[in-house]
Amino acid sequence: MVAYIVVHAGPVLQSRVTRARFLDNTPSTSPTPAAPTAATGENAAVEALPDTVGTAADRELADAALPFTSGAVKGLPAEATRLLAALRTALTDAHVKDLDDLHAPVKEMAAAGLQTPDTAEGRRLAAALHDFNAPTPAPAPTQAAAPAPAAAMPAAEDAEDGDEGRRDDDDGLVPGDEQEEPEGAVFPALRILKESVARSKMNPIPVIRTEDREAGPWPLVSEDMDGEPGWVHPDVTSTRVAHERNGKRVRRDQLDVPTSFGDGLMCLIDRNGSFPSACSAVPLAPNKLLHTGPLDVFDKSQAGIYQITVPAWNHPDMPHPLGRLAERPDEQGRVWVTTPHIKMLERLHRDGHLTEPVVIHDSWTGKANESLFKPFYQATKDARAELIQAGGEPYKKYKTRLSIALRLLWPKRPESRSPFWRPDWRMSMVAEAFVRHWFSAFKAVQAGHTLIALRNVDAAIFWTPDETAPDTYRLGTGFGEVKAKFIQPGTFIPEGDD
């Protein structure tokens, strides 16, 4: 998935920044739209999707496929369902880069003659595939649209990543994702993850029984536990602007950097494989979580979830260590966090960056293990080293299956037959990725570098006077390393390439 940012030197305005997510093609499931009526005509379904990106053929195909991608109608191969669901998500969330990346494989699928059921839904989908694959004239050149006032932009469309409104009830998966990869798959990520858990001598419990999920610790686990930041430096402003890209209207973030920062460039740091890298040593409780209540001190031999008071953070040049969690405490100023954040706060207090110790008001914990996913991590690391050299479709398939496997740790659809249902494992892994990302940025700031934005779990943006990345990062293509791009002020840049 790709987001874009514009950097300008100028006056300070109101702070705002959006987040990016890990999954490149994040399919969503939406209710099947009502059939077109005589009053609305055949374009009614097309109008159900925003027209800010894509063509009419894109939108018609996405809507024609909706009965299949939502699971209401069966009859398509799993890979076809995945591609069509990803197409709809790219349109819904205005992900232009995702849409561009999807055009080639969808056209290839259409050209190969995808077999559709002999039903009204199947015939409409077949027609949409035919039209989608038909040659289309190049769009006429257009002038860039003027920036739209922020107040005029619908709130739902402001969340470019599309996850804000559906985080806790949608896992980004589609029916069929939970099926184990066939023999000969480029990277059988789900199979490897299952084997990694099965190798543990702690007899892990990969699936919490359905009847147990509405009680105990499970309702307390939420997507907010990742701690992802949507942060910009308090002296830097992020606003949404309209932009024409390849003849399509999209909206992007614009960062306005004050002149007090001096002349410089934006240095975009992109961490490689944040999620699989976090699997190398994420602290988890493989077995049951037991109610251990208030704790005087954090017990390193345990892992789980903890209710703590949000600590004060007095470093304006860095986001709060709890990210967006710090913005959503209960009436008593408390939040639930996973073990990676507890360890992070303990370290910050020990090093003198937090004035008050961590206060644990409640907890659900079990015996800790940091190597449950380590075989999976090693396999993903080895496969990446080989596939990234080849690039192309094999590498894309590797990334897709890797993402699916990790999202299957917490499937949201009741009918999902995932071999996992451990929300605490999923959110601990994501939190571990964020914690590593945050500490890397903090280390650079402590060394004197100027952080102007920190987002999701893999992208940091620094202001630098020359084409020199912060020397606290290691440049490269491997896990633990980063890519650095130097961007002139006023130009659009991609994020989240990996």
How many whole angstroms separate alpha carbon 238 and alpha carbon 231? 9
Residue 486 has pLDDT above 60, yes or no: yes
Q: What phi, psi does 399 have (nearest 5°)?
A: -65, -40
User: How remote is the C-alpha of 477 from its chain's centroid?
Assistant: 20
Question: What pLDDT sits at residue 49?
Answer: 59
**pLDDT band (50, 70, 90) for residue 492:** low
Do 383 and 330 belong to one domain?
yes
How many whole angstroms separate alpha carbon 450 and alpha carbon 232? 11
How many whole angstroms separate alpha carbon 192 and alpha carbon 173? 18
Do 13 and 38 belong to one domain?
no
pLDDT digits (tens, 9 = 90+) for 388-406: 887 789 999 999 999 999 9
Q: Which of 119, 136, 153 is the C-terminal boundary of a domain? A: 136
The tokens of 298 are what? 């954090």
Question: What pLDDT sits at residue 170?
Answer: 58
Nearby residues of 268 by Cβ (< 8 Å), 6 or more positions away: 459, 460, 461, 484, 485, 486, 487, 493, 495
**pLDDT band (50, 70, 90) for residue 192:** very high
How many whole angstroms separate alpha carbon 265 and alpha carbon 487? 6
Residues listed for the chain: 498
How many whole angstroms separate alpha carbon 203 and alpha carbon 284? 13
Asked if residue 165 belongs to a domain, the reply is no
First CA to last CA distance, the chain: 8
How many whole angstroms separate alpha carbon 321 and alpha carbon 460? 15
Q: Quick one: CA dihedral 187, 189, 195, 201, positive or negative?
A: positive
Do 128 and 240 belong to one domain?
no
CA-based nearest residue to 181, from 490, 397, 15: 397
Range of lowest pLDDT (128-142, 200-214, 421-435, 482-496): 128-142
Asked if residue 144 belongs to a domain, the reply is no
CA-based nearest residue to 408, from 23, 14, 2: 23
Question: What pLDDT sits at residue 33?
Answer: 39
How many whole angstroms separate alpha carbon 181 and alpha carbon 427? 24
Number of domains in the chain: 2
Do 326 and 383 belong to one domain?
yes
User: In the predicted model, what is the mean pLDDT of residues 427-451?
Assistant: 96
How many whole angstroms separate alpha carbon 486 and alpha carbon 238? 19
Do 376 and 250 belong to one domain?
yes
Residue 264 has pLDDT above 60, yes or no: yes
User: In the predicted model, what is the mean pLDDT of residues 194-222?
Assistant: 95
Residue 153 has pLDDT above 60, yes or no: no
User: CB 346: neighbour CB atoms within 10 A?
Assistant: 16
Please answer whether residues 444 and 453 qualify as being in contact, where contact means their C-beta atoms are separated by less than 8 angstroms: no
Asked if residue 461 belongs to a domain, the reply is yes
Give CA torsion, residues 92, 93, 96, 100, to 10 deg.
Answer: -60
Asked if residue 221 belongs to a domain, the reply is yes
Question: What pLDDT sits at residue 73?
Answer: 82
Asked if residue 150 belongs to a domain, the reply is no
Tell the residue number behind the tokens 């709809």, with chain if given.
Answer: 88
Residue 307 has pLDDT above 60, yes or no: yes
Return the amino acid letter for 379: A
Do 192 and 219 belong to one domain?
yes
User: In the predicted model, what is the mean pLDDT of residues 123-134?
Assistant: 82
For residue 284, the 8-state DSSP code is: B
Do 454 and 475 belong to one domain?
yes
Q: Which residues of 245-269 are buried (b: 16+ CB within 10 A; e: fewer)?
A: eeebbbbbbbbbbeeeeeebbbbbb
User: In the predicted model, what is the mean pLDDT of residues 425-445?
Assistant: 96
Asked if residue 163 belongs to a domain, the reply is no
Question: What pLDDT sits at residue 439?
Answer: 97
Please answer whether residues 90 and 103 qualify as being in contact, where contact means their C-beta atoms are separated by less than 8 angstroms: no
**pLDDT band (50, 70, 90) for residue 84:** confident
Asked if residue 162 belongs to a domain, the reply is no
Do 409 and 485 belong to one domain?
yes
**pLDDT band (50, 70, 90) for residue 32:** very low
Question: What pLDDT sits at residue 477?
Answer: 87
Q: What are residue 265's DSSP bridge partners?
A: 464
Tell the residue number behind the tokens 């480029």, with chain if given.
Answer: 186
Do 330 and 212 belong to one domain?
yes
Residue 294 has pLDDT above 70, yes or no: yes
Do 131 and 208 belong to one domain?
no
How many whole angstroms separate alpha carbon 447 and alpha carbon 67? 54
Asked if residue 149 belongs to a domain, the reply is no
Domain coverage including residue 454: 1-19+170-498
Return the amino acid letter for 230: G
The tokens of 321 are what? 């260590």
CA-based nearest residue to 45, from 56, 55, 57, 33: 33
> Taking the CA atoms of the chain, what radius of gyration do you get in angstroms?
23
Helix (H) or strand (E) holding 384: helix 374-390
Q: Which residues of 75-110 are buried (b: 16+ CB within 10 A; e: fewer)?
A: bbeeebbbbbbbbbbbbbbbbbbbbebbeebbeebb
Do 289 and 310 belong to one domain?
yes
Do 101 and 198 belong to one domain?
no
User: In the predicted model, what is the mean pLDDT of residues 358-366?
Assistant: 97
**Which ranges in 72-160 belong to alpha helices (H)?**
78-92, 96-111, 120-133, 155-158
User: CB 64: neighbour CB atoms within 10 A?
Assistant: 24
The tokens of 371 are what? 């190597």
Nearby residues of 74 by Cβ (< 8 Å), 6 or more positions away: 68
**pLDDT band (50, 70, 90) for residue 114:** confident
Question: What pLDDT sits at residue 51?
Answer: 54
